[in-house]
Every structure is written in C-alpha cells, then in structure tokens.
Amino acid sequence: MNSKTILVTGAANGIGEAVSRQVVAAGGAVVLVDRDADAIAAIAADLSSGRRQVRPMTCDVSNETEVKEVFRRLHEEGVHIDGLVTAAGIDIGGAAHELSVEDWRRVMDINLTGSYLFCRELLGRLVQEQRPGSIVLCSSPAASVGFAAGGATAYSASKGGISAMVRSLAVDYAQYGIRVNAIVPGPTETNLMWAAVPEDQRAAMRNQIAQEVPLGRMASPDEPARAALWLLGSDSSYVTGSHLVCDGGVLAKASISV
C-alpha cells in the first residue's frame, strides 16, 4: 500500500473499518467515507499519526450529489485515489410479499447504486488521468444461493447486482489498467450481521452458525478485509472480474445433510 491512497465506503464499522485500518498499517493513505460522521472522525483521529494521511468524509453513498461532492473536494485538495473498497451496506429482511417498496429501494439505493456511484466517479477520474486502479466491491454468498433462513430477497438481489456489475466493469475497464473484483464474505461479526436479530437470540444463532459453517465459526472483520487488501495490491495484478470467497466454506457445502 506504500504511496497508495484508498477510498473506503462504510469505513465507520465492520469490514470497511477493518480495511481502513489495514491500509494504514500497510503504509497507505485512506479516505474514510461513511454517513456516521462522529465514528469516522474518531477512527481518523486514532489512525492519524506521523506522516500517515487519513481523511474522513461524511457522505450518504446513495446520494449522487453527495458522492460527486466527495470527489470534487478530493480533486480540489489534489488527492488522487488509487483504489476503492465499497463496504457501505445495509440489510432489510422480510418475506417478499410483506416487503415495502420503500425498503426494497433503500437496500438497492445503498448497496447497489451506492457502489455504482463510487465506481462511476472514480473510473471517470482514472480514465481521464490515464492512471491504473483497483476496485473491490462487497458481494455475498446471497448473490449465488438462497439463504436457508429466508427473508433475504432485497439483500440478495442487491448483491447479485454487485456480482454482475463486477464482471461487466472488469471487462470494460481492463483496457485502462483498472481491475475490478469482489470479496464474498461469509457470516462476519459486524453490526450488519446482527442488525435484524434480537439480543436474546444472538447466542443461539452464533451456536447454529458454528455448527453449520464448515470452518465452525464466524469471521472477524479482519479476515474479509485481508482478502480486500490482497485484491487492492499488486500481488493480484493479473486478477480482474473475479470473486474472492472468504466464507468459511459456506458456498462449498450443499445444505442437504443426507
């Protein structure tokens, strides 16, 4: 990450925060983007030491005007972005016939359109400035299979869109030296994972996950973050349009037990 500047959305928590911390630990600079201004300010204060550059920027990733303003300000400040990780995301569960169209749109707006807007702005800059880059989006096993627990219609559709977009962008922008890949995290200890689960049901669910995930546990946010770091860096220089699955074996396993 030496001399690289990486923009991370969803940097206030979970996988995005872990990526941001690892970029700085690896000698890179990071732009922290999240709607939670206080949290990214606190992380920036924690990470800013010596010559390391950490820049918090508050933004709702689903708001086109705010996304454009992030890039306008970075341009004005002479900050060149080399890599992007779009980790901002939400999950609103519910059976399809009970889901409101507002909730459906909210999930699409943040997970899919938010990722698209950041890709679009960065790709435009990189092409114009004739610079290479590496973009990492966050997909999910839900892009490929239905969750046995159910109620993941909107979330799955948004992640399926991410996976399709990764392949399409990878093909379109390879000619510019810009790589586009996805990480596919399995169940990871973050706010998003537990958002829809009442406190008193979490221990039982953790136990069930431990029994059903081949590696027998949930991931820490650092584990998918390390996969993202590899895709950002030059060690993955011939990798584009791919999905790096970091799911403890979930997708490799048939759920039927006979």
In this complex, which beta carbon is closest to ligand NAD, that of residue 126 or of residue 136?
136
Residue 116 designated active-site: no
User: 245 vs 42, 152, 185, 186, 221, CA distance in Å?
Assistant: 31, 19, 6, 8, 14
Strand partners, 219: 188
Backbone φ and ψ for 152, nearest 5 degrees, come out as -115, 30
- Burial of 222 (C-beta count, 10 Å sphere; 0-12/13-18/19+): middle
What's the alpha-carbon Rg for the chain, to the nearest Å?
A: 18
In this complex, which beta carbon is closest to ligand NAD, that of residue 45 or of residue 174?
45
140 binds ligand NAD (CB under 6 A): yes
212 binds ligand NAD (CB under 6 A): no
Q: In what order do the strands lie in the sheet with 29-34?
A: 54-58, 29-34, 5-9, 83-86, 133-138, 178-185, 243-246
Site for ligand NAD in 68-127 (CB under 6 A): 87-90, 110-111
Distance CA 11, CA 24 (A): 13
62 binds ligand NAD (CB under 6 A): yes
178 binds ligand NAD (CB under 6 A): no
Q: Which of 28, 56, 83, 185 binds ligand NAD (CB under 6 A)?
A: 185
35 binds ligand NAD (CB under 6 A): yes
169 binds ligand NAD (CB under 6 A): no
Q: Which two tokens stand for residue 200?
A: 């008193």
Identify which range of 11-19, 45-53, 73-81, 206-214 contacts ligand NAD by CB under 6 A: 11-19
36 binds ligand NAD (CB under 6 A): yes
Where on the chain is the footprint of ligand NAD (CB under 6 A)?
Answer: 10, 12-16, 34-36, 60-62, 87-90, 110-111, 138, 140, 185, 187-188, 190-193, 221
The catalytic residues are 155
